[in-house]
Amino acid sequence: MPYLWPAVLGLLVTGWFVLDGFVLGVGITSPWLARDVRERRWARTAVGPFVLGSEMWLIASAGVLAFALPHLESVLSGCYPLVVALLACWILRDAALWLGRRSTRSASWRRWDLVWAAASMGVAYCAGALVGALAHGIPHGAPAYATLFGPVAVLSGLAMVALLALHGAVVVRLRVPAPACERAAAALPRLGQVAAVLAAATVVAGLIDPGVRGALSPAALVGVAGPVAALLVPGRNAAGHPGRAFALGAVAVAAPALAVGIGLVATVAGTSGSGGLAAVVLGAVPVMLAYQALLWWLFRRPVTRRATVFF
C-alpha cells in the first residue's frame, strides 16, 4: 500500500513520456522529415487527435502529486527553473499546434512550424533534465543549480531529445505519407545510434556521480534498457515490424523516468492517500485507459487525403 500512489504517479508519468513523447518527437523531427508546409500539415494531422489526450497524462500527474503525495511537491519548487522552462516550452508547443494553420498565409505557417519544432525540443530537453536532476534525490528547499545544470541533468536532457526524436520518427514512418515516411525509415539507424549513445552516456555519468549513487537504489539500473531498446529500434523496422519498433521506442523513452522512479521509491513511499476519495481516483484509472484505447483505435489508420484536419 505505501507504494500504491508512487506507482500511480509512475504510471502517469511513464504514460506521458510514451504518448506525448511521440507527439513531441514528430515535432522535433519535423524540420528534417517533413520538408515543406504541406508535409508538415500531414505530420500535424498524424498526431492531431492524440495531442490533447496525451498531454493530459502529465497534467494528471500534477493532480495526483497534489492529492496523494503533497510532500513531494517540493519536486516542483526544488527544480523551479527547469519546471518553468518546461511549462513555457509546452505552452509554446501547444500554441504552435493550435494557431499554426489559422492564417491563410504560408509565411505564418513556416514561422509556427519552427516554433513547433523548437518548443518540442525544449519540452524534451527540460523533461529529460528534470529526470536527471531527480536522480540526485528529491530536492528539499531552494533549487540547487549544480544539480539542475550539472552533467547528469544536461546529458539526460540531450538524451531525451534524441530518444523522443527516435520515437517520433517511428510514428512518422507509420502514419505520415511518403516521402516523409521514407525519410523517417532512412533516418532511424542514425537516430537509434545517437539516442543510444547519449542515453548510455547519461547512465555512465550517473554511475560515476556520487550524488546519484547515493540517492538511487541499484534497482535503477533497469534504465540500461533505454539505450539497448533504442539500438534495437531501427533493426525491427528494417525487418518489416514497425509496430515492434514503436514498442521498443516506447521502452526507450520510458526507461529514464522509470529508472529514477524505481531508484527513489524507497524515499517516496509510506504516504497515505485519503481512503474514500482514493478509491474513486483509482477507480477512474481503468475508465481512463478504456477511452484512451478508444481514441487510439478510432485514429489507428495513417493519414490519407480523407483524414480530418485541424492543426
Partner 1 sequence: MSAVDLARIQFALTANVHFLFVVVTLGLAPLIAVMQTRYVLTGRDVHKTMTRFFGQIYVVNYGLGIVTGLVMEFQFGLNWTGVSQVAGQVFGAPLALETLIAFFAEATFLGMWIFGWDRLPKAVHLAFIYLVTLTAYASAYFIMVANGFLQHPVGAALHGGTARITDVGALLTNPNAIGAVAHIVPAALFIGGVVVAGISAWHLRRRTGHDDLFVRSLRLGVLVGVVAAFWTFAMGYAQFDYLDKNQPLKAGLLHELDHTVKTVGPPPPDWIGVPFTVMQTIGEVSFYIGLLLLPFLIRRWIVPRRLILRAMTWFVPVPFVAVVCGWLVREIGRQPWVIYGVLKTPDAVSGVGATQVAFSLAVFGAVVVGLAVTDWLVLARLARRGPARVTLGATLAEQEERDGLPDGRPATQPLPAAQES
Q: Which of residues 149-178 bind partner 1 (CB under 8 A)?
A: 173-178
Touching partner 1, residues 46-105 (CB under 8 A): 48-53, 55-56, 59-60, 62-68, 70-71, 73-77, 80-81, 83-85, 87-88, 90-92, 94-95, 97-99, 101-104
Is residue 281 within 8 A of residue 65, CB to CB? The reply is no
Of residues 52 and 208, the one with the C-beta less far from partner 1: 52
3-state secondary structure 156-173: HHHHHHHHHHHHHHHHHH
Q: How far is the CB of 158 from partner 1 (least distance, A)?
A: 22
Segment interacting with partner 1 (CB under 8 A) among 124-132, 140-148, 155-163, 219-227: 140-148
* Cis peptide bond prior to 302, omega within 30° of 0: no
CB distance 83 to 131 below 8 Å: no
Three-state SS sequence of 110-157: HHHHHHHHHHHHHHHHHHHHHHHHHCCCCCCCCCCHHHHCCHHHHHHH
Question: In the complex with partner 1, which residue's Cβ is closer, 130 or 154?
Answer: 130
Q: Per-residue b/e over 18-40, b at no fewer than 16 CB within 10 Å?
A: bbbbbbbbbbbbbebbbeebebb
Q: Which is nearer to partner 1, 174 or 212 (CB)?
A: 174
Task: Write the burial class of residue 78 (CB in 10 Å: 0-12 exposed, 13-18 middle, 19+ buried).
Answer: buried
In the complex, what is the shortest distance from the CB of residue 192 to partner 1, in angstroms, rounded to a whole number? 18
Q: Based on CB atoms, which residue is closest to partner 1, 201 or 295? A: 295
Q: Which of 146, 204, 217, 310 binds partner 1 (CB under 8 A)?
A: 310
When binding is defined by CB under 8 A, the residue of 16, 17, 22, 42 that contacts partner 1 is: 42
CB of 226 to partner 1, least distance (A): 26
Of 4, 31, 37, 201, which lies in the binding site for partner 1, with binding defined by CB under 8 A? Answer: 37
Closest to partner 1 by CB, 159 or 311: 311
235 binds partner 1 (CB under 8 A): no
Task: Select the residue interacting with partner 1 from 197, 219, 269, 307 (CB under 8 A).
Answer: 307
Q: How far is the CB of 196 from partner 1 (least distance, A)?
A: 24
Pick out residues in 247-306 that bind partner 1 (CB under 8 A): 273-274, 276-277, 280-281, 284-285, 288, 291-292, 294-295, 298-299, 302-306
User: Using the rule CB under 8 A, is 141 a contact of partner 1?
Assistant: yes
Residue 96's closest CA among 155, 151, 28, 145?
28
Q: Which residue has the cell 552533467?
A: 151
Retrieve residue 60's grid coordinates: 494528471
Q: How far is the CB of 293 from partner 1 (least distance, A)?
A: 10
Q: How far is the CB of 103 from partner 1 (least distance, A)?
A: 8
Q: How far is the CB of 195 from partner 1 (least distance, A)?
A: 22
Residue 303 makes CB contacts below 8 A (sequence gap 6+) with 42, 45, 46, 175, 176, 177
Residues 6 or more apart whose Cβ sits within 8 Å of residue 32 = 183, 187
CB of 148 to partner 1, least distance (A): 12
| 172, 26 Cβ separation under 8 angstroms | yes
Q: Counting contacts by CB under 8 A, is residue 197 touching partner 1? A: no
